[in-house]
């Protein structure tokens, strides 16, 4: 048994070791910083593309190393593992090695396979370990440690001191990583070897979001070469949520990540408004594909009356029969609308020039005079190209369209909606008042319409040619690889890529990966994380599947919390059309956020709105009972102020959640995925009154608190909340 003196000696010994780790970290930072400075100062030959590529690759590589090392100050080392044979391993945020001692690991990266027992070893299955020691640090200072000796009678597999300290700690402004306290069921999901789609479902507080983010960090660690150059996309429900989780991956040393809401997936468009449930359901359905196709076809028209085109020597007309022939040929080409317009124009031009030549040459010109016939055709083609009547006719019969113009004009015209077979529920006076549900339709139209400027496709072809040339160079280099020694092979692999070679031919883009990816609609990612995935419609999923051709996804959600009328009712129905047989499901069942007292209240509501769903089991009780208070119209504002004053004197965060017209209240939809020490829910009956969406929103509101929950109501409490203790707010 350890005595007080022995414990003090052990603590001092661990402090000395951790201090040595920080000394190693500082030395490594200085070494990398010097390499970075040297690379920045190295001379380059403007005529030598290879030198420029090498210099830039070194700058990028050392900059990434500096970023990786810069995140390690806070909690560099989490603890120690002692094996049954007496070997010790220290586990931390990054890996550090002793170059003077055959690169012996001084600190194991938490993602390394050897670190796994730190998270999964239990009394029942100790993974050949004797002791897990967890450190409690403040900044660089080791304050204390907790030992768990496996096999000891009564050893608790789940509720250790480090975990309880973490879940009970006051919340700050953003989500914290859980890298020091990952639990066994979470670690299994984080390290899961599956290249397809992984669905993580769990109730409130089960850590599904932070588990998904740690899985991204793990994948970037184990598959860095495959994933890093195209990055990872994280899609969340709103900007507040993305801000809340935005620190987790950088804190783990990963920066090649793009954060977006579903309303940001079309570059240059930021939509936050929501449609009515009926409109959202219609727009989210795959039936909208037929509506969009019909809306495009409706803009490919025959003239009601022949359209005269006055040329210098003759007047020609575009009639319905000619236009119909041109429409059929253009559609048969299979090209998007704007590109097929060239076929339409060619047919119209051919017919008009033939008719013009026949009239101009009547009585003197025959087809046997081929030279004169062709000269006259060229003259008429040039004249048509400059003719304003001809340009106006083409714009009327087959206009160049943008996604925004087509959709806005569709929404604000009941006639066009009927022609496209769309429900008049979609009508609105302000056609381009974009909502989140419009984004997947606009994205779909990018492919259905094609570029609205002829130069767009030319630029794409040139860039493809440059990349293909660069890839060919790499293929030639690969054939010489057997002649290279290990060091040269590593240098070539790390520093020379097709994109680097292609940059010799185009203007250099100095933006980082996240900036370039966010601005490029055609950018594809190696992995996509989708949070609150139950809210996404069938059309939303088409957008996301286009963004990730490899179909590598981590999907996070809870069907019981679905509020969108267009959202998922089952994962199978949503995913099978895209990844049949390539998706797997993993549940999380332990609630690390919500204390048992609050979860009991939320579970009563869950039983009404989703009777088949099992509420997550809370890992702790707070000892504080959630309360309710009946208020009048006059004292509602006073009661909210009293709550705010009481919470202002406590450490941590708080929020008031309620209907939009309650002063100082945040709508439930804006708190999805967030957590606060104290929550005040105002007028739950009004939240609940908004149909199925309202029930889900009230469930979300009730499960945001980590410590304290209060409810203010003017009308009688909903039946599901009858178990709340009615008490004055000051109590």
Classify residue 280 by its DSSP letter: H
Q: Is 208 annotated as a binding residue?
A: yes
CB 168 within 8 A of CB 159: no
Pairing of β 553-557 and β 257-261: unpaired
Backbone angles phi, psi at 505, to 5 degrees: -105, -10
Q: Is 92 annotated as a binding residue?
A: no
Q: Is 204 annotated as a binding residue?
A: yes
Q: In the structure encoding, which two tokens stand for residue 142, read together?
A: 């080791």
C-alpha 442/C-alpha 486 separation (Å) is 49
Its sign, for the CA torsion 121, 124, 129, 133, is: positive
The DSSP code sequence of 40-80 is HHS---TT-HHHHHHHHHHHHHHHHHHHHHHTTSTTSEEEE
Start-to-end CA distance of the chain, whole Å, equals 45
The three state secondary structure string of 117-143 is HHHHCCCCCCCCEEEEEEEEEECCEEE
The three state secondary structure string of 322-374 is HHHHHHHHHHHCCCCHHHHHHHHHHHHHHHHHHHHHHHHCCCCCCCCCHHHHH
C-alpha 30/C-alpha 689 separation (Å) is 60
Nearest C-alpha neighbor of 301 from the set 339, 348, 335, 346: 348
C-alpha 55/C-alpha 38 separation (Å) is 10
Q: How many CB atoms lie within 10 A of CB 699?
A: 28
CB 157 within 8 A of CB 124: yes
**For the CA atoms of 521, 523, 527, 528, what is the dihedral angle to 10 degrees?**
-10
C-alpha 662/C-alpha 650 separation (Å) is 24
C-alpha 190/C-alpha 32 separation (Å) is 30
Q: Is 664 annotated as a binding residue?
A: no
The SS3 call for residue 650 is: coil
Q: Is 692 annotated as a binding residue?
A: no
Phi/psi-derived region of residue 595, left when phi > 0, alpha when psi is between -120 and 50, beta in every other case: beta
Q: Is 551 annotated as a binding residue?
A: no
Residue 212 CA neighbour count, 13 Å, CB half? 35
Q: Is 653 annotated as a binding residue?
A: no
Structure-token match 């609150």, residue found: 532
Give Cα 52 distance to the centre of its chain: 33
The SS3 call for residue 629 is: strand
Structure-token match 């967890």, residue found: 134
Q: Is 206 annotated as a binding residue?
A: yes
C-alpha 463/C-alpha 523 separation (Å) is 14
C-alpha 98/C-alpha 631 separation (Å) is 66
Degrees (nearest 5) of the Cα angle 663, 276, 290? 155
Q: Where are the beta strands (DSSP E) in 601-675?
A: 617-618, 627-630, 654-657
Residue 378 CA neighbour count, 13 Å, CB half? 6
C-alpha 683/C-alpha 147 separation (Å) is 47
Pairing of β 141-149 and β 129-138: antiparallel
Instruction: Tell me how far CA of residue 141 lies from CA of 14, 18, 338, in angstroms.
Output: 11, 8, 64
Instruction: Tell me how far CA of residue 57 lies from CA of 195, 491, 500, in angstroms.
Output: 29, 10, 8
Which residues are documented as binding site for ATP?
A: 202-209
Which residues are documented as binding site?
A: 202-209
């Amino acid at each position: 048994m350890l005595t007080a003196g022995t414990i003090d000696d052990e603590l001092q010994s661990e402090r000395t070791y951790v201090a040595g780790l920080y000394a190693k970290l500082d030395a490594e930072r200085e070494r990398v910083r010097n390499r970075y400075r040297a690379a920045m100062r190295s001379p380059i030959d403007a005529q030598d593309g290879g030198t420029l590529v090498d210099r830039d690759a070194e700058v990028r590589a050392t900059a990434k190393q500096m970023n990786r090392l810069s995140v390690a100050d806070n909690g560099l080392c989490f603890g120690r593992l002692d094996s049954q044979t007496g070997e010790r391993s220290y586990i931390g945020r990054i890996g550090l090695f002793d170059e003077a001692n055959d690169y012996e690991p001084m600190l194991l990266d938490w993602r390394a396979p050897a670190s796994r027992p730190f998270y999964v070893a239990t009394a029942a299955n100790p993974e050949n370990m004797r002791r897990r020691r967890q450190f409690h640090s403040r900044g660089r200072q080791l304050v204390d440690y907790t030992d768990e000796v496996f096999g000891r009678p009564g050893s608790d597999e789940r509720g250790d001191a480090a975990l309880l300290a973490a879940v009970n700690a006051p919340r700050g402004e953003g989500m914290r990583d859980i890298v020091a306290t990952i639990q066994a069921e979470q670690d299994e999901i984080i390290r899961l070897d599956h290249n397809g789609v992984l669905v993580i479902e769990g109730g409130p507080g089960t850590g599904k979001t932070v588990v998904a983010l740690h899985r991204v960090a793990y994948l970037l660690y184990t598959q860095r070469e495959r994933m890093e150059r195209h990055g990872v996309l994280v899609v969340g429900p709103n900007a507040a949520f993305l801000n809340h989780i935005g620190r987790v991956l950088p804190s783990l040393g990963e920066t090649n990540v793009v954060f977006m809401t579903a309303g940001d997936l079309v570059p240059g468009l930021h939509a936050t408004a929501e449609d009515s449930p009926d409109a959202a359901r219609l727009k989210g359905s795959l039936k909208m594909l037929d509506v969009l196709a019909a809306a495009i076809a409706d803009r490919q028209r025959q003239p009601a009356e022949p359209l005269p085109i006055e040329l210098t020597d003759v007047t020609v007309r575009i009639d319905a029969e000619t236009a119909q022939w041109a429409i059929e040929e253009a559609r048969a080409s299979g090209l998007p609308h704007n590109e097929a317009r060239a076929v339409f124009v060619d047919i119209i031009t051919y017919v008009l020039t033939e008719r013009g030549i026949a009239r101009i040459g009547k009585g003197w010109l025959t087809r046997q005079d081929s030279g004169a016939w062709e000269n006259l055709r060229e003259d008429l083609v040039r004249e048509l190209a400059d003719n304003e009547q001809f340009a106006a006719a083409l714009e009327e019969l087959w206009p160049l369209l943008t996604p925004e113009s087509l959709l806005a004009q569709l929404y604000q015209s009941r006639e066009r909606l009927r022609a496209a077979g769309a429900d008049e529920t979609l009508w609105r006076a302000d056609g381009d008042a974009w909502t989140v549900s419009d984004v997947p339709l606009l994205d779909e139209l990018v492919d259905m319409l094609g570029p609205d400027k002829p130069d767009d496709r030319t630029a794409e072809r040139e860039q493809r040619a440059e990349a293909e040339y660069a890839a060919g160079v790499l293929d030639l280099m690969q054939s010489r690889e057997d002649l290279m020694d290990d060091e040269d092979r590593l240098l070539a692999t790390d520093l020379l890529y097709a994109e680097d070679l292609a940059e010799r031919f185009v203007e250099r883009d100095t933006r980082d990966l996240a900036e370039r990816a966010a601005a490029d609609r055609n950018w594809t990612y190696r992995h996509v994380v989708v949070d609150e995935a139950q809210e996404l419609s069938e059309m939303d999923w088409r957008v996301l599947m286009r963004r990730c051709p490899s179909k590598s996804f981590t999907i996070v959600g809870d069907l019981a919390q679905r509020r969108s009328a267009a959202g998922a009712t089952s994962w199978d129905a949503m995913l099978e059309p895209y990844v049949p047989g390539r998706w797997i499901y993993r549940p999380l069942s332990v609630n690390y956020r919500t204390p048992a007292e609050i979860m009991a209240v939320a579970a009563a509501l869950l039983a009404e709105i989703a009777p088949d769903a099992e509420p997550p089991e809370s890992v702790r009780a707070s000892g504080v009972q959630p309360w309710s208070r009946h208020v009048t119209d006059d004292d509602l504002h006073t009661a909210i102020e009293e709550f705010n004053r009481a919470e202002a004197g406590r450490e941590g965060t708080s929020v008031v959640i309620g209907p939009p017209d309650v002063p100082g209240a945040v709508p439930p939809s804006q708190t999805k995925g967030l957590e606060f020490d104290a929550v005040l829910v105002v007028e739950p009956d009004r939240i609940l009154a908004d149909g199925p969406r309202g029930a889900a929103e009230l469930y979300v509101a009730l499960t945001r608190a980590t410590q304290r929950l209060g409810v203010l109501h003017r009308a009688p409490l909903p039946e599901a909340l009858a178990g709340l203790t009615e008490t004055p707010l000051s109590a």
